[in-house]
Amino acid sequence: MSVLEIKDLHVSIDTEQGTKEILKGVTLTIKSGETHAIMGPNGSGKSTLASSIAGHPRYNVTSGEILLDGENVLEMSVDERARAGLFLAMQYPVEVPGVTMTNFLRTAKTAIDGEAPSLRHWTKDVKGAMENLKIDADFANRNVNEGFSGGEKKRVEILQLELFKPKFAVLDETDSGLDVDALRIVSEGVNRAHEANDMGTLLITHYTRILRYIKPDFVHVFVDGHIAEQGGPELADRLEEEGYDRYLAKA
Ligand code: ADP
Ligand code: MG
Ligand code: MG
């Protein structure tokens, strides 16, 4: 059992107009096997939370803590975070010229595990995961993300999730731009990782649509840089009906 703890996290960015505080005290605990949905209006700071967990240099943590099984995540490099068991999709470059998917996945897996996977198992695992996600076999020989459609990029994100077996995954708007079929395939991939590895998931989304396929244990409403309300899955149903207006009126 692992625990990812976010404690009173304050994050700001430097802009031309000066320092701007975006996260204003976020507190959240995720345990192995739990799925937490973060839902909120555009501009509320959801991606900033994801980027801060990922260690994006643009985002300055001014106070608060992120702990993974008691270890200080904020002191870890991006690579160390991956090795510690955090999966953060945006830590990977958008396009990597001249690097095939096959090489990229094996290099990343080796870096995360600290040893190269046995070639026989690895080839089988990649093939199986690609079939599960209905990713075309010739994808393996294409360069990373080069000319990938939005839907293909999302599938490759989930492919990594299945292969790297992280303790915790932060998925930011994984549902955006997916048609219903792709959404179902991608969601099944997340659910498989959850079942197979007892993965904990932070699922960030603007829309409730993906929650029909990935069932959250907890729902957090994110408004103006903090969690305004927490509840169970029923909270997502209410948001679907009522939207975010009542929170914005208060903000
Ligand atoms: P969300 O993901 O909920 O839509 P974001 O975290 O992307 O919200 O953005 C929160 C706020 O921080 C917005 O007002 C946005 O304009 C601002 N912001 C985030 N990242 C940057 C950045 N790199 N430069 C300038 N402003 C930013
Ligand atoms: Mg569960
Ligand atoms: Mg966002």
Angstrom distance (rounded) from CA 114 to CA 116: 7
**Prediction ipTM score:** 0.93
- Residue range of the domain that includes 146: 3-250
Ligand 1 near 17 CB (within 6 A): no
> Which position has the token pair 């995540």?
73
Among 49, 150, 158, smallest CA distance to 94 is for 150
Residues 6+ apart with CB under 8 A from 171: 89, 157, 190, 201, 202, 203, 204
Q: Enumerate residues 6+ apart whose C-beta is below 8 A from 51.
A: 58, 59, 90
- pLDDT (tens digit, 9 = 90+) per residue, 46-105? 999 999 999 999 999 999 999 999 999 999 998 899 999 999 875 455 667 788 888 889
Provide the domain count of the chain: 1
Please write the tens of the pLDDT for every residue from 131-172. Answer: 999 998 888 888 887 888 888 888 888 999 999 999 999 999
Ligand 1 atom closest to the Cα of residue 222 is: 3
Q: Residue 244 CA: which ligand is closest?
A: 1
* Atom 16 of ligand 1, residue of closest alpha carbon: 43
Residues 251, 224: contact at Cβ < 8 Å? yes
pTM for this predicted structure: 0.93
- Which atom of ligand 1 is found nearest the CA of 44? 3
**CATH number of the domain bearing residue 58:** 3.40.50.300
